[in-house]
């Protein structure tokens, strides 16, 4: 988590939903004994090394979420910022959709589509993104026969939400302000 960035307070309803989701996950009956094994990576995962942008390059992010997300350092910074605000589900969904779109194997595509749906789209999903009912219905219809464009409408809605809401907060953050000095 980024230090020095204040997390926005959650409303009581959001907090209750978060607790309910976590409790539901904990209380689920495991399918087998293998579910009791907690995976520990041999080495802690390190984010890919990305070159710090010049102040001029970082200034471009202020007006373009697309440029921010195309830059590895920008993407990592934005993810860290959203994580510090406990609102990383939108960027995680967007990244998952980008990965999904690049999938060639129909079997892997179906597996990834199911995982994305269960993690981000379905009602009460652990990281449910905020999309309207129409977009959710279109996405569900698209998943009957998964294709690279199955999540396009939902991904565009989330991109627009991040552009309108998250990007301005990121640009006002101390971390971003340090980048452009």
Between CA 68 and CA 113 the distance in angstroms is 25
**CA separation (Å) from 177 to 6, 60, 68, 138, 170?**
15, 13, 14, 39, 9
User: Which structure tokens are listed for 162?
Assistant: 């991040």
What pLDDT, on the 0 to 100 scale, is given for residue 134? 97
101: pLDDT strictly greater than 70: yes
Instruction: Give the 3-state secondary structure of residue 1.
Output: coil
CATH no. for 55-178: 1.10.167.10
The C-alpha angle with vertex 92 and arms to 86 and 93, in degrees rounded to 5, equals 120
Of the listed ranges 5-19, 124-138, 154-168, the least confidently predicted one is 5-19
Tell me what pLDDT residue 50 has: 72
The yes-or-no verdict on residue 94 having pLDDT over 60 is yes
Which range has the worst mean pLDDT, 4-18, 98-112, 150-164? 4-18
Report CA Rg, the chain: 18
Beta-carbon count within 10 A of 120 CB: 24
C-alpha 1/C-alpha 145 separation (Å) is: 38
Token pair in block for residue 176 = 């971003």
- Looking up tokens 């978060």 gives 18
Residues 6 or more apart from 134 whose CB is under 8 A from it?
none
Q: pLDDT tens digit string along 115-129?
A: 999 999 999 999 999
Handedness of CA 76, 78, 81, 83 (dihedral sign): negative
Q: How far is residue 9's CA from residue 180's CA, in Å, rounded to a whole number?
A: 27
Q: What percent of the chain has pLDDT over 70?
A: 73
Q: Residue holding tokens 């991904």?
A: 155
Q: Which long-range contacts (CB under 8 A, 24 or more apart) does 92-96 make?
A: 92/120, 92/127, 93/120, 93/127, 93/129, 93/154, 93/155, 93/158, 94/69, 94/155, 94/158, 94/159, 94/162, 96/120
Tell me, what's the pLDDT at 22?
52
Instruction: State residue 166's pLDDT score.
Output: 96
The pTM assigned to this predicted structure is: 0.71
Q: What is the pLDDT of residue 27?
A: 46
- Side-chain-side CA neighbours of 71 within 13 Å: the count stands at 18
pLDDT digits (tens, 9 = 90+) for 14-72: 555 555 555 454 444 444 434 434 343 343 344 456 789 999 999 999 999 999 999 99
pLDDT score recorded for residue 24: 52
């Amino acid at each position: 988590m980024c230090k020095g960035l204040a997390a926005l307070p959650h409303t009581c309803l959001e907090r209750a939903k978060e607790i309910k989701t976590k409790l539901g996950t904990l209380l689920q009956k495991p399918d087998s004994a293998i579910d009791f094994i907690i995976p520990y990576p041999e080495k802690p995962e390190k984010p890919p090394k990305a070159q710090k942008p010049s102040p001029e390059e970082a200034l471009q992010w202020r007006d373009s979420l697309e440029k921010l997300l195309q830059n590895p350092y920008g993407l990592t910074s934005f993810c860290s910022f959203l994580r510090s605000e406990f609102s990383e589900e939108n960027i995680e969904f967007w990244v998952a959709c980008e990965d999904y779109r690049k999938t060639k194997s129909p079997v892997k595509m179906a597996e990834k589509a199911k995982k994305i749906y269960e993690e981000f789209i379905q009602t009460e999903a652990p990281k449910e993104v905020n999309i309207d009912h129409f977009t959710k219905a279109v996405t569900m219809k698209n998943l009957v026969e998964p294709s690279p464009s199955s999540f396009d409408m939902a991904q565009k809605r989330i991109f627009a939400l991040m552009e309108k809401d998250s990007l301005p907060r990121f640009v006002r953050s101390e971390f971003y302000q340090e980048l452009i000095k």
